[in-house]
Structure 1
Amino acid sequence: MSLENAPDEVKLAVDLIMLLEEHAIAPETVLKALAIVQRDFENKINAAEA
């Protein structure tokens, strides 16, 4: 499967991985930041459902 035909979430994931790797951010820092991002977006989903 080419990236061109991949689902949007796969395209975004690839872009994020490239960005994080280009900036040589430590994996532990990335995971902590992603947990914060996940909570933020889960809160946005919950707020939209309320």
Structure 2
Amino acid sequence: MSLENASDEVKLAVDLIMLLESHQIPAQTVLAALEIVQRDYANKLKNVESGSQSPEK
């Protein structure tokens, strides 16, 4: 299956999965870290939407 035509989200997800699997990080650690990342990016998005931060940050 080619990722050539996949959405950016799918491409990023595949890259992250490959990176995490190559480092043999335990699933529980990955999920805990992803929760932190999700909160961080949700806050960034909220800040961008409120105009207090540029999208690149």
Same fold, judged at TM 0.5 (above): yes
Q: Identity over the aligned pairs, expressed in percent?
A: 70
| Unpaired runs of at least 5, structure 2 | 51-57
Q: State the TM-score, normalized to the length of structure 1.
A: 0.95
Q: Deviation digits for residues 12-36 of structure 1, max 9, x if unmatched?
A: 0000000000000000000000000
The answer for the alignment partner of 2:35 in structure 1 is 35
- Unaligned stretches of 5+ in structure 1? none
Task: Normalising by structure 2, report the TM-score.
Answer: 0.84
Count of matched residue pairs: 50
Bigger CA radius of gyration: 2
| Partners of 2:4 and 2:49 in 1: CA distance | 32
> Following TM superposition, where does structure 1 have runs of at least 4 consecutive aligned residues deviating by more than 3 angstroms?
none
Going by fraction, where is helix more abundant, 1 or 2? 1
